[in-house]
Amino acid sequence: MALFDGQHIVAEVVYRQSIHASYGGVIPEWASREHEVRLPLAVLQVLEKTHLTWKDLQVVAAAQGPGLIGSLLIGFTFARALAAAQGLPFIGVHHLQAHVASLELGEKPVVYPLLVLVATGGHTHLFRVAHPLEMELLGQTQDDAVGEAFDKVAAFLGLPYPGGPEIEKLAEKGLPSAVSFPMPRTARPWDFSFSGLKTAFIHARQRHMDLPTEDLCASWQHTVFTYLVQKLIQAAQAHRIPRIGLVGGVAANQYLRQLLTQAAAEAGLDLYLAPLPYCMDNAAMIAVAAWHRYLTGHYTPLTAAPFARE
């Protein structure tokens, strides 16, 4: 839950659900129940922190989709009810638009147009962003999302969910050049594919049982991110866009941030990285995206419904 004043996040309450850790992924039913319990408390806590009341609010926003429908229904319905009760406008925000808007929570003022890679557990989407409300999809994964590949590899190793940070921790202690993995290929130049790399990890593990898991993770992570970085740089050059951005849960990975920072500098591209606290799903990015719609009067009718897929 975040409270935004048009420029800054004034207060926020973040609750990360840990109940899914040992199950290899999010259990949708549990996620919904946790939302149901936490949401009313989070709203009250945010108001308490700021000494504001319902009367001080101007607009209420919530994620509309794509995402887990049970969780979306609870947040969306809660926010619509709040807006209706207070007579406030309501804005339903597109999940990916919000990830892109997380760049505006960084220190560097964002200049558009911008080429942005959204790298999460559900999406690996490349957008040309002309304005926070105007995004053109240039390419996307043809199978697993990059975060999903991390989660599946982690689950294969018996590590907790989410798998990305677990693989990153192991990779820090390993050798990125220990094993070489083949780079994926796609029919269209700006699409992605990760399921082959995921299978290659499993085969490599079975073939080199004596190889330290740290080396295997470091090599695999290196290949995945080299692939992402090369694509992003090439796409920016091909589209003649001098600025690139990286957002989403996977953007929290320090190794990826380093690789991209170096590659962008070498290519002479201006780089925007989502601030670390706003890489994984969060309310602040929903608020920033909603603010752009609020300014242009793009309200959402209270009869609108959340959606699971685009």
Binding site for ligand KG4 (CB under 6 A): 120-122, 147-148, 150-151, 162-165, 168, 248-250, 252-253, 280-281
Select from Zn ion, ligand KG4, none the partner in contact with residue 184, using the beta carbon and a kind-dependent cut-off of 5 to 8 Å: none
Residue 197, CA distances (Å) to 41, 192, 249 in order: 42, 11, 19
Token pair 């990760």 is found at 194
Query: Closest approach of Cβ 162 to ligand KG4, in Å?
Result: 4
Minimum CB distance to ligand KG4 smaller for 148 or for 191: 148
Query: Closest approach of Cβ 233 to ligand KG4, in Å?
Result: 19
Select from ligand KG4, Zn ion, none the partner in contact with residue 147, using the beta carbon and a kind-dependent cut-off of 5 to 8 Å: ligand KG4
Query: Closest approach of Cβ 285 to Zn ion, in Å?
Result: 8
Residue 68 near residue 281 (C-beta atoms within 8 A): no
Minimum CB distance to Zn ion smaller for 147 or for 174: 147
Pairing assessment for the beta strands 124-131 and 134-140 based on DSSP bridges: antiparallel
Query: Closest approach of Cβ 150 to ligand KG4, in Å?
Result: 5
Dihedral (CA of 231, 233, 238, 242) sign: positive
Q: Examine residue 120 and tell whether it contacts Zn ion (CB under 5 A).
A: yes
Tokens of 149: 């590949």
Cα 224 from Cα 158, distance rounded (Å): 20
Select from ligand KG4, Zn ion, none the partner in contact with residue 151, using the beta carbon and a kind-dependent cut-off of 5 to 8 Å: ligand KG4
Cα 151 from Cα 85, distance rounded (Å): 40
Residue 233 near residue 263 (C-beta atoms within 8 A): yes
Minimum CB distance to ligand KG4 smaller for 121 or for 306: 121
Minimum CB distance to Zn ion smaller for 224 or for 250: 250
Query: Closest approach of Cβ 66 to Zn ion, in Å?
Result: 9
Minimum CB distance to Zn ion smaller for 93 or for 264: 93
Query: Closest approach of Cβ 68 to ligand KG4, in Å?
Result: 9
Rounded to 5°, the CA angle 274-277-279 comes to 45
**Which residue, among 225, 216, 217, has the nearest Cα to 192 in the 3D structure?**
225
**Could you say which of 148, 151, 166, 281 contacts Zn ion (CB under 5 A)?**
281
Mention every residue, 6+ apart, whose C-beta is less than 8 A from residue 187: none
Q: Which residues contribute to the site for Zn ion (CB under 5 A)?
A: 120, 281
